[in-house]
Amino acid sequence: MDYKQSGVDIDAGNETVRRIKGLARTTFTPGVLSSIGSFGGLFRLGSGTRDPVLVSSADGVGTKLKVAFLTGRHDTVGQDLVNHCVNDILVQGALPLFFLDYLATGTLSPEVAGRVVEGVATACRENGCALIGGETAEMPGFYASGEYDIAGFIVGVVEHDRVITGARLRVGDVLIGLRSSGLHTNGYSLARAIVFEHLGLTVDTEVSELGCTIGEELLRIHRSYLPLVRPLLDAGLVKGLAHITGGGITENLPRVLPPGVAAIIDKSTWTPSAVFRFLQRSGGVPDADMYRAFNMGIGMIVGCAPDDQARVLTMLQSAGESRATVVGKIVAGDPGVIYGSL
């Protein structure tokens, strides 16, 4: 018996690496000092940094991958992964430097792996982030046929005196919501249960109120907020940022609130995207569960001083975010979210 008969195809692995090398090179920035295939990725910080702080994060795509398996479309989940990680370090004021990915599967398909990493490379280029390494693991008997998992690891940088923690948020500060592109990468276990188990739909089912198939809707790419937020950071207008991921507004906004303050969020200030209304109605999901499982149409919340509100909104509109709106404010209390009127 040889290695291939046991389920591991070294030739397929080499072909996958060959495809990835070409994709990765398209993302290289001046700081990259190594090539794909080295035991470690080398990256040099630019000379323009004064007192740099490195910010890192790791994440996955969750059960959104199940939708990719059903549709046979594998390029979008790589973009989801990068954009999610970019947003996670962005909330602390960091700009992305480099990215690594981990792809694990039962039987390695160079074509599928290539499509996944193609999405990773696309988002890395869009975010100015270098894909400098990763791992592709073939693990026969561990994953179901045709399935895989992917995780991402990002490192970014921010000047020490420009780190955003939310500690400067004060009573009276304004909370501005930036719209999401859909479910992003969270709440898919509930969404899949409603759509595929309760309603019995397939990924090819057209849903008129969504204007597309349910598969297309569920695969909408997680939005990167870097192009919108970076000008605000450069202008020193941001006091706090919250990426609305798993746990929704209810669980994520308190993560950036300092002691002694809470946040009032007025749900009447925006209309949740059609997909959330469809899921809530179809599954009979209570409001509290919706706002803990999904982003409900708000993917990022920006905290700023009330005197800066008009300028922030103008800058966001100039950057293409015409639907940015004030969704809440900071009040006295224990860190948490209160849903009520402004």
Enumerate the domain spans of the chain.
10-162, 174-339
CA distance 218 to 230: 28
Q: Does domain 174-339 have CATH number 3.40.50.720?
A: no
DSSP 32: B
Which are the contacts of 92, defined by CB distance < 8 A and separation ≥ 6?
Answer: 55, 158, 163, 164, 165, 241
Rounded to whole angstroms, the Cα distance separating 55 from 35 reads 23
Helix (H) or strand (E) holding 228: helix 226-234
Is 0.85 surpassed by the pTM of this model? yes
Residues in the chain: 342
The radius of gyration of the chain's CA atoms, rounded to the nearest angstrom, is 21
CA atoms of 19 and 16, how far apart (whole Å): 5
Per-residue model confidence as pLDDT tens for the chain (342 residues): 665 665 667 777 778 778 888 899 999 999 999 988 888 999 999 877 889 999 999 999 999 999 999 999 999 999 999 999 999 999 999 999 999 999 999 998 999 999 999 999 999 999 999 999 999 999 998 999 899 999 999 999 999 999 999 999 999 999 999 999 999 999 999 999 999 999 999 999 999 999 999 999 999 999 999 999 999 999 999 999 999 999 999 999 999 999 999 999 999 999 999 999 999 999 999 999 999 999 999 999 999 999 999 999 999 999 999 999 999 999 999 999 999 999
Tokens found for residue 9: 């195809």
Residue 238: strand, helix, or coil:
coil
> Which helix (H) or strand (E) segment is 71 a member of?
helix 64-71
Which amino acid is present at 141? G
Q: Tokens at residue 234, please?
A: 């450069």
Q: Nearest CA to 32 among 103, 120, 126, 133?
A: 133
> Would you state the pLDDT for residue 67?
98
- Name the residue among 173, 139, 146 with its Cα closest to residue 309: 173
Question: What CATH fold (topology level) applies to the domain 10-162?
Answer: 60s Ribosomal Protein L30; Chain: A; (3.30.1330)
- Specify the pLDDT at position 84: 98
Q: Which pLDDT belongs to residue 36?
A: 83
